[in-house]
Amino acid sequence: MAQPDTVPHLSTALSGPLRDLERRLLDATADIERWFRLKWQQHTPPFYTSCDLRNSGFKLAPVDTNLFPGGFNNLSEACLPLAVQAAQAAIERVRADAQNLLLIAESHTRNKWYLENVLVLATILRQTGVQVRIGTISPEIGAPTELETASGRHIIVEPLSRAGGRIRAGDFEPCLILLNNDLSSGIPDILRDLEQPLRPALHAGWAVRRKSRHFAAYDEIAADFARVLQIDPWLVNPYHAQCGEIDFRTRAGEECLASNVATLLVKIRQKYAEYGIKETPYVAVKADAGTYGMGVMMVKDAAEMRDLNRKQRIKMAVVKEGLEVTQVILQEGVHSFERVDDAVAEPVVYAIDRQVVGGFYRVHTQRGPDENLNAPGMHFVPLAFERPCTLPDPQAQCDAPPNRFYAYGVVARLAALAASLEIERTAPGRAA
Amino acid sequence: MAQPDTVPHLSTALSGPLRDLERRLLDATADIERWFRLKWQQHTPPFYTSCDLRNSGFKLAPVDTNLFPGGFNNLSEACLPLAVQAAQAAIERVRADAQNLLLIAESHTRNKWYLENVLVLATILRQTGVQVRIGTISPEIGAPTELETASGRHIIVEPLSRAGGRIRAGDFEPCLILLNNDLSSGIPDILRDLEQPLRPALHAGWAVRRKSRHFAAYDEIAADFARVLQIDPWLVNPYHAQCGEIDFRTRAGEECLASNVATLLVKIRQKYAEYGIKETPYVAVKADAGTYGMGVMMVKDAAEMRDLNRKQRIKMAVVKEGLEVTQVILQEGVHSFERVDDAVAEPVVYAIDRQVVGGFYRVHTQRGPDENLNAPGMHFVPLAFERPCTLPDPQAQCDAPPNRFYAYGVVARLAALAASLEIERTAPGRAA
């Protein structure tokens, strides 16, 4: 895979205890796996997800679930066979006789690392035995265009054309379309009402999707899971809250935000007291729609919401591709207590279909444990997990890498299951 | 996994060209995978298989398909996650809500390498999230017994008890039973007509199974596959033939054997002439039921069948656990042109459910390319494939390891598909 030389030879970013929770997960492996098996019979897994986790020692929780994951180039080579096997299942779930798959990439064609991700993802998909071509909805690309990836390899990106209910790229007519474009800038007409199956569904894109709906579904999943394990669901689930419409430029809704932050901080403080946790609670304020770590603030005091300066307000007002922020989600901050070479690390876990296929640590040397590591322009060192998250080792200590990775895989699958509920419930034709 | 230190640091035993066939397989990856996807919708994959392949440079073919594979300890550690993922699918195919799985092992409890296989297999199964206990039908084991494996680890083997239509091991009542015992000595009453699902089915054991039925099913599969690829099916399929009842001790049926060997040698010679192959054709004479490489002879001249000495006749007359040989299969011999350190090597490829999960080379320093490498008491060096057989690399030469392994995986899956047909057709209640 890409950039093997830049990856430090550390296989985990272990530090915190998290022992009670991990021990509970490891002891309940059989119950957990059976629970997932039955859940996946009731719900269709997302084609793929990546999940940002936070491990605070006392708590392990998802903070973001991406339904159009980039970063496949950051997975270790050992993860590839698993990814291919899982992608086979994902493709077969849509069309068992699939031959031609069109992968629609993001339009930012100047990000060579993103192009590297597209190359690796296309390779994984090809290895399942389908023909893969890469399409774009970028108006700047009017003809098949060769682009160089970060590793110096090349991909060809092609414009799309539509005839009736079907799209194609040149003479390539796909029987299955996979979006790796999160539709932040809206749903383009060329993708609406297609006869060809398209995954993830259009309403899973950020034009429609809301983090608050995801975490509402996650509340249910976490509660159900916690009942089976007989644990406090808070250990795997951050508190969250919402306001109505916000306008950061005119400061409309600011007071509502501040009071909700205050309420959330009180709830977190109570939990910290219950568990004897000494850390300072904080709340992440995030755009309810959108990604790329833009439009995110970390707040330790409700008063901070009233004192936003012009620069902060502009930063919060717009996320990727100029999407205006009018709704936010307030999320309990989960401290990251994992470290790699004294830098703060955050695990990112990848799943395809029902399977966890690998992950890596996002590492940031200039940031603290309560800061957002997925910041625009940040420099992170992708630290590939040496193994996929699938194999607990019952003989080893519970903070041994395979076991910690198993715990990560469990929580990432809870998030994928929540995404499955979320997508079902927001499908057009269903009451929201 | 076991014995990592004894495995030479070679990742393949490449030598022969096999280029035309491999190139054809690689170019047709998409068609091949799609063909398999559709086939596996029509047929239920065996729970697991291992397949002995022979690669003669001009030909790549299965020579034996084991439905109760041992040797899981010979797979490389890199194969484990894939094996677990595939085992999840295999278990779910039988019972999605499976919690307790009983693994019934072979009775030869003094073979520490076999016990190592049981340990690794049980570990793979446990990691899917089911409780696993190991049972035995050996009359010598009357209480739970701890046995030491080759790596010095331990497994507990338990006797079975039956109440009504259900079996258990102590207080452990399985909802799924997996046989790793090939029933060479017959179907024990305790396993008949169980309410609990049992895989592989009883009629897949050597008490009922016949190699000739397997290769008859393989003829169909190979013909169908060859049509899709537009190749000569002979390139992946050894000729075979049968006689009626044989009694090696009384020499009854010997003449029939000799004339069938002669006919087969003529057919092989014609093919060799067609392809300009200079090797000496030979025929493997094998017991039609049974395993462990016993009851096998390699014959280059039909006259050899008439001149069997007493020792040879006794060797052919009995296979594992005293099972009497009364039927044989004659199979075109496929030269093994692969070498590891100048020793003859034979790939063994493992599949669980529909997935190829890895393999190794059986290497024998004292044997020639036209000899049987799976001989009793032989010393082989298991040479684990570094990678599973799932990922062709379209950029690399076709004899690059990933590509050769892909070809192996394809042929092993053809054999698994043939086993699927064979098991369906021999199911009780169906006309044979």
pLDDT of A292: 54
What mean pLDDT is predicted for residues A141-151?
Answer: 95
Q: Give the residue among A165, A158, A171, A172 at the shortest CA–CA distance from A198.
A: A165
B126 contacts A96? CB cut-off 8 A: no
Please check the confidence at residue A345 and state whether its pLDDT lies above 60.
yes
Interface of A with B (CB under 8 A): 29-34, 36-38, 41, 78, 80-82, 84-86, 88-89, 92, 96-99, 126-131, 355, 387-388, 390-392, 394
- Which band of pLDDT confidence, cut at 50, 70 and 90, is reported for residue A45? very high
CB contact under 8 Å between B86 and A81, yes or no, is: no
The one-character DSSP state at B270 is H
Residue A399 CB neighbours (<10 A): 17
Nearest-Å Rg of the Cα atoms of chain B is 21
Cβ distance A388 to B81 less than 8 Å, yes or no, reads: yes
The predicted structure's pLDDT at residue A384: 63
Q: What is the band of A308 on the pLDDT scale with cuts at 50, 70, 90?
A: confident
Query: For position B328, what pLDDT does the model report?
Result: 87
Distances (CA, A) of B157 to B162, B196, B200, B402: 16, 20, 20, 38
Please report the number of interchain residue pairs, chain A to chain B, with beta-carbon separation below 8 angstroms. Answer: 96
What residues of chain B score a pLDDT lower than 50? 1-17, 376-377, 379, 431-432
Burial label, A31 (beta-carbon count in 10 A; 0-12, 13-18, 19+):
middle
CB-CB under 8 Å, B390 with A130: no
pLDDT band at A6 (very low <50, low <70, confident <90, very high): very low
Among A36, A126, A387, the residue with its CB nearest the CB of B81 is A387
Give me the pLDDT at residue A339, please.
63
In percent, the amount of chain A with pLDDT more than 90 equals 51
Q: What is the pLDDT of residue B309?
A: 79
Residue B306 near residue B258 (C-beta atoms within 8 A): yes
Cα gap A226→A431, rounded to integer Å: 28
Window from A150-154, A211-215, B363-367 with minimum mean pLDDT: B363-367
Q: What's the pLDDT score for residue A389?
A: 55
The SS3 of residue B430 is: coil
DSSP strand pairing (A154-159 vs A131-136): parallel
- The larger pLDDT score, comparing residue B89 to residue A341, is at B89
Which of chain B's residues have a Cβ under 8 Å away from the Cβ of A131? 30
Residues 6+ apart with CB under 8 A from B422: B209, B213, B214, B216, B217
Instruction: Point out the residue among A31, A34, A99 whose CB comes nearest to the CB of B34.
Output: A99
Residue A93's pLDDT band (boundaries 50, 70, 90)? Answer: very high
Inter-chain touch A85–B86, beta carbons under 8 Å: yes
What ipTM is given for this predicted complex? Answer: 0.72
pLDDT computed for residue A76 by the predictor: 83
Which pLDDT band, with edges at 50, 70 and 90, does A4 fall under?
very low
> Strand pairing of B131-136 and B154-159?
parallel
Most confident stretch, A159-168, A205-214, B391-400: A159-168
pLDDT value at residue A366? 63
CA atoms within 13 A on the CB side of B187: 16
* Neighbour order of strands in the sheet with B176-179: B145-148, B154-159, B131-136, B100-104, B176-179, B198-199
How many Å apart are CA B377 and CA A157, to the nearest integer?
58
Look at residue B78 in the predicted model and tell me its pLDDT. 77
Sign of CA dihedral A22, A26, A30, A33: positive
List pLDDT tens digits, range A360-401: 888 766 666 666 666 544 545 555 665 555 556 655 555 555
Mean pLDDT in chain A? 84
pLDDT 10s digits, A8-36: 333 344 434 456 788 888 888 888 988 99
d(CA B77, CA A38): 29
* Contact criterion met (CB below 8 Å) for A174 and A97: no
The confidence score (pLDDT) of residue B341 equals: 61
Contacts of B234 (CB under 8 A, 6+ apart): B59, B271
Q: Please report which helix (H) or strand (E) contains residue B147, including its range.
A: strand B145-148
Nearest partner of B137 among B189, B175, B69, judged by Cα: B189
A64 Cβ contact partners less than 8 Å away, ≥ 6 residues apart: A51, A52, A211, A291, A374
pLDDT at A388: 56
Look up residue B165 and give its DSSP letter: T
Q: Which residues pair with A147 in a beta bridge?
A: A155
Q: How far is A79 from chain B (nearest CA, A)?
A: 9
Rounded alpha-carbon distances, angstroms, from residue A56 to A27, A279, B432? 21, 10, 62
pLDDT at B293: 53
- Length of chain A in terms of residues written: 432
Give residue B40's pLDDT: 93
Q: Of all residues in chain B, what percent are helix, strand and coil, respectively (each to 5)?
A: 35, 20, 45
Question: What average pLDDT does the segment A91-120 reach?
Answer: 92
Residue of B1, B33, B385 to mutate, testing the A interface (most A Cβ within 10 Å of its Cβ): B33
Tell me if A391 and B81 make a contact (CB, 8 A cut-off).
yes
Q: Which residue has the higher pLDDT, A207 or B7?
A: A207
pLDDT over 90 (residue A162): yes
Inter-chain CB proximity B355 and A85 less than 8 Å = yes
Return the pLDDT at A136: 97
**CB-nearest partner of A84 from B32, B96, B390:** B390
Q: How far apart are the first and last CA of chain A?
A: 41
* Burial of residue B249 (number of CB atoms within 10 Å: 0-12, 13-18, 19+): middle
Comparing CA positions, the residue from B49, B111, B125, B4 lying closest to residue B381 is B4
For tokens 């086979």, what's the residue? A88
Which of A152-166, A316-330, B103-117, B360-374 has the weakest average pLDDT?
B360-374
Interatomic CA distance for residues B35 and B19, integer angstroms: 22
d(CA B238, CA A389): 42
Tell if the CB–CB gap between A34 and B128 is shorter than 8 Å. Answer: no
Q: Which of A93, A61, A27 is nearest to A415 (CA)?
A: A61
A81 and B392 within 8 Å at the Cβ level: the answer is no
| Per-residue confidence (pLDDT) for residue A22, from 0 to 100 | 82
DSSP code per residue over A47-99? SEEEEEEEE-SS-EEEEEEESS---GGGS-GGGHHHHHHHHHHHHHHH-TT--
3-state SS, residue B77: helix
pLDDT tens sequence across A54-70: 988 789 999 999 999 99
Q: Are A302 and A296 in contact (CB under 8 A)?
A: no
Task: Tell me what pLDDT residue B3 has.
Answer: 31
Cβ-based neighbours of B100, under 8 Å, separated by 6 or more:
B130, B131, B133, B172, B173, B174, B175, B176
| Residue A133: strand pairing partners | A102
This prediction has a pTM of 0.82
Tokens of A236: 């795997």
